[in-house]
Amino acid sequence: MIRVILIIIAIAIAMAAGHLLIDEKGYVLIAYNDVTIEATIVAMAIMFFMLTIGIWLVVKAIKFFWRLYRKSTGHFGHKRAMKASQAWQQALWATLNDDNEQVQVAFKKHDAPSQWQDYQYALLAKSALQQGEQATAVQHLSAMSEEAQSKVPKLWLQADKGEQALVLLETPMQQKKPQSTEITTYLEGLLVEQKYVELIKTLNDKHKQVTWSAEHWQRFFARFFMQNQPDGQAYYEQLPKALKVYAQQPYLQSMAASGQIKQIQPALLKWLKKGLYHDVSAVISAANEGDLQLTHAIQAQLKKQPDNADLLACLACMAHVDGDFELAAKIFDNINKSNWHTGWTSMALRSYEQTQQYQKAYELAILK
């Protein structure tokens, strides 16, 4: 800009100097309609120079104020971005530390950065669910984009929206190799919605892609068979061989709890011969009726291992379901509490209560 001004000044000086050298002032005449402007070249050059300087000053002022405005808005925008980032980080750490109240506090004054909005709603939904606020959780989940909602079907499931979780998982489950988390959440949804036929079909088709531990499989099947005691045997037979290993004990427990101890007697006798005493005790502790042949088999094994805690628990549970609470209480007394299994506690407590041994019941309840 300065270079342009200097060139203009040089041209103006040259024009004025030329006329001065020949002793001619020179005139400039500008006429437009009824308006006429007449001046010497020197005067016109001076006016043109002043006009150019004025324009230059105006441009400089505009640029100055524009930069000042940009800096001020950039400063406040940067400050807002920093606060949003801090809120996001604070909520994330609070989630990792299971501090649900702090998650809500973090987002109370400032939202997460725009690109993390769906994650903010997910964190708030998870926090609300852990505080038992299902309605609030559903509001947060509904605020998420449709694509983001499909990423958190488990949260929908925890919010008692099993049908919505299954709808969100329909597309992923149609793929050849869905992710393990999608399959497990789908299985949980089918169990919650009591769609057992589809659940069995999914187990047969997708069980190899599930990465659950043995304990997790057993907990899942315990819920499944307790919900299906009348049809438990039919469903058990439809399971793939690889899953029957995990499902057998929960299945037998549900059969024992439904008063079908005689139907599962052969399986329990086989377990006794194999020395699977702990598994036998876990099944018998769920029974509500006794079996004489099974009791004799347990007593025969006890003669060989009189101090075995699992065998003692088996015999005590059989005495309990037969209504002999005094014998059951005496046998439970002989079990070393260091080998105690929580599955025996319910029958032991009732045996002590029925024989009015309240102090022992209290001590056992504390141990529990």
Is pLDDT above 90 for 4? no
Q: Which amino acid is at 157?
A: L
> Does residue 27 form part of some domain?
yes
Cα(1)–Cα(272) distance, rounded to whole angstroms?
101
Q: Which of 293, 269, 288 is nearest to 280 (CA)?
A: 269
Q: How do residues 232-258 score in pLDDT, each as one tens digit?
A: 889 999 999 999 999 999 999 999 988
Cα(44)–Cα(344) distance, rounded to whole angstroms?
112
Is pLDDT above 70 for 202? yes
Calculate the CA dihedral of residues 112, 115, 116, 117 and round it to 10 degrees: 70
* Structural domains of the chain, count: 4
How confident is the prediction for the chain on average, in pLDDT? 83
Q: Are 282 and 253 in contact (CB under 8 A)?
A: yes
Residue with more model confidence, 223 or 368: 223
Q: Are residues 155 and 192 in the same domain?
A: yes
Q: Are residues 221 and 251 in the same domain?
A: yes
> Of 230, 258, 286, which residue is a domain's last?
258
Lowest mean pLDDT among 104-113, 190-199, 211-220, 238-247: 104-113
| Segment 165-175 mean pLDDT | 82
Res. 158 pLDDT band, cuts 50 70 90: confident
Q: Which of 221, 291, 224 is nearest to 256 (CA)?
A: 291
Q: Are residues 162 and 183 in the same domain?
A: yes
Residue ranges making up the domain that contains 69: 1-95
Q: Are residues 69 and 168 in the same domain?
A: no
Res. 268 pLDDT band, cuts 50 70 90: very high
> Does residue 102 form part of some domain?
no
Q: What is the pLDDT of residue 115?
A: 78
> Does residue 321 form part of some domain?
yes
Radius of gyration for the alpha carbons in the chain, expressed in angstroms and rounded: 42
| Segment 25-46 mean pLDDT | 70
Q: Are residues 283 and 336 in the same domain?
A: yes
Q: Are residues 253 and 356 in the same domain?
A: no
Rounded alpha-carbon distances, angstroms, from residue 178 to 153, 185, 193: 14, 11, 21
Residue with more model confidence, 130 or 249: 249
Q: Are 110 and 138 in contact (CB under 8 A)?
A: no
| Segment 22-45 mean pLDDT | 68
> Of 95, 123, 154, which residue is a domain's last?
95
Q: Which amino acid is at 231?
A: D
Q: What is the pLDDT of residue 359?
A: 92
Res. 126 pLDDT band, cuts 50 70 90: confident
> Which residues is 39 bridged to in the sheet?
28
| Segment 9-18 mean pLDDT | 60
Phi, psi values for residue 36, rounded to 5°: -130, 130
Residues 6+ apart with CB under 8 A from 141: 121, 122, 125, 149, 152, 155, 156, 159, 161
> Does residue 56 form part of some domain?
yes
Residue with more model confidence, 368 or 211: 211
Res. 300 pLDDT band, cuts 50 70 90: very high
pTM greater than 0.85 (yes/no)? no
> Does residue 103 form part of some domain?
no
Cα(254)–Cα(251) distance, rounded to whole angstroms?
5
Res. 67 pLDDT band, cuts 50 70 90: confident
Q: Are residues 34 and 76 in the same domain?
A: yes
> Does residue 146 form part of some domain?
yes
Give CA angle at 295 (293, 296), nearest 5°. 65
Q: What is the pLDDT of residue 18?
A: 56
Calculate the CA dihedral of residues 212, 153, 236, 203 and round it to 10 degrees: -70
| Segment 140-150 mean pLDDT | 82
> Of 227, 258, 289, which residue is a domain's last?
258
> Which residues is 37 bridged to in the sheet?
30
Lowest mean pLDDT among 121-125, 321-325, 348-352, 364-368: 364-368
Cα(350)–Cα(352) distance, rounded to whole angstroms?
5
Q: Which helix (H) or strand (E) holds 40?
A: strand 35-40
Q: Are residues 72 and 15 in the same domain?
A: yes
Q: What is the pLDDT of residue 246?
A: 93
Res. 164 pLDDT band, cuts 50 70 90: confident
Q: Are residues 71 and 126 in the same domain?
A: no
> Does residue 106 form part of some domain?
no
Q: Which amino acid is at 330?
A: K
Q: What is the pLDDT of residue 329?
A: 93
Q: Are residues 165 and 198 in the same domain?
A: yes
Q: What is the pLDDT of residue 248?
A: 93
